[in-house]
């Protein structure tokens, strides 16, 4: 049975889209659409510092993240094909907030995803042990993943070097030309 490693934010859910919609309500002077977010992190496009963006994202994770719905196309894929694979979730999230993401994953995908892993996303004032500096190092150490799905082009490029089949999940910041349905069909 093949093992799939799923990124969480913006693959299993629409974290950035929903965060952005909430952020825009507080910043009505910003005349941007979600599709305009051609970089992730999008702080430069938004005209704010990276620290402001991360603080806002962390606040969103604390206040709203538990209410995020799973991405319908992905949930449907799991319902139809999930039983034919083993699954794990891997996220880059601050260590002090990883429990929120883990709870969300298990609530919505726990029937299939039996392992939640994270590579700490660094934040000022939060000390954490750093076993791996990125997802590639973690997946190299784990050495059990056959397919990796992520919305970050750099993560995809790096993990391909490990011989893992990598699938870029379509988002405005990675310019994938496939639909979500076409992307999920690549899994098999």
How far is 88 from 173, CA to CA, in rounded Å?
24
User: 148-187 as b/e, with b when 16 or more CB fall inside 10 Å?
Assistant: bbbbbbebbebbeeeebbbbbbbbbbbebeeebeebbeee
Question: How large is the C-alpha radius of gyration of the chain?
Answer: 16
Residues 96 and 131 in one domain: yes
Same-domain pairing of 9 and 33: no
Domain of 73 in residue numbering reads as: 3-14+69-185
Per residue in 83-131, pLDDT (tens digit) is: 999 999 999 999 999 999 999 999 999 999 999 999 999 898 888 888 9
Helical spans, DSSP H, in the chain: 15-26, 43-46, 50-63, 72-81, 98-109, 135-142, 153-160, 180-185
Quick one: pLDDT at residue 145? 98
Give the per-residue pLDDT at 100: 98
At 129 the pLDDT is 87
CA neighbor of 14 nearest in space, from 30, 35, 44 = 35
Nearest-angstrom CA–CA distance, 33 and 37 = 7
Residues of the chain with pLDDT under 50: none
Q: What is the CATH classification number for the domain harbouring 88? A: 3.40.50.1000
Residues 75 and 158 in one domain: yes
As a dihedral over the C-alpha atoms of residue 187, residue 158, residue 121, residue 17, rounded to 10 degrees, the angle is -50
Burial 80-108 (b: 16+ CB within 10 A, else e): eebeebbbbbbbbbbbebbebbbebbeeb
Please check whether residues 92 and 33 belong to one and the same domain. no
Provide the pLDDT for residue 128: 87
**Structural domains of the chain, count:** 2
Q: Count CB neighbours of 145 within 10 A.
A: 22
Let me know the angle formed at the C-alpha of 98 by 179 and 110, rounded to the nearest 5 degrees.
60
């Amino acid at each position: 049975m093949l093992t799939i490693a799923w990124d969480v934010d913006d693959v299993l859910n629409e974290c950035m889209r929903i965060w952005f919609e909430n952020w825009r309500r507080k910043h009505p002077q910003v005349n941007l659409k979600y599709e305009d977010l051609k970089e992730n992190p999008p702080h430069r496009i938004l005209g704010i510092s990276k620290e402001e963006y991360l603080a806002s994202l962390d606040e969103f994770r604390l206040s709203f993240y538990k209410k995020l719905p799973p991405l319908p196309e992905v949930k449907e894929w799991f319902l139809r094909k999930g039983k034919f694979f083993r699954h794990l979730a891997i996220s880059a999230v601050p260590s002090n907030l990883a429990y929120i993401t883990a709870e969300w994953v298990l609530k919505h995908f726990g029937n299939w995803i039996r392992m939640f892993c994270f590579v700490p996303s660094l934040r000022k004032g939060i000390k954490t042990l750093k076993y791996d500096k990125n997802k590639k190092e973690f997946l190299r150490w784990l050495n059990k993943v056959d397919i990796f799905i992520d919305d970050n082009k750099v993560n995809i490029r790096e993990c391909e070097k490990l011989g893992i089949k990598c699938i870029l999940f379509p988002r405005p910041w990675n310019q994938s030309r496939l639909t979500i349905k076409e992307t999920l069909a690549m899994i098999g």
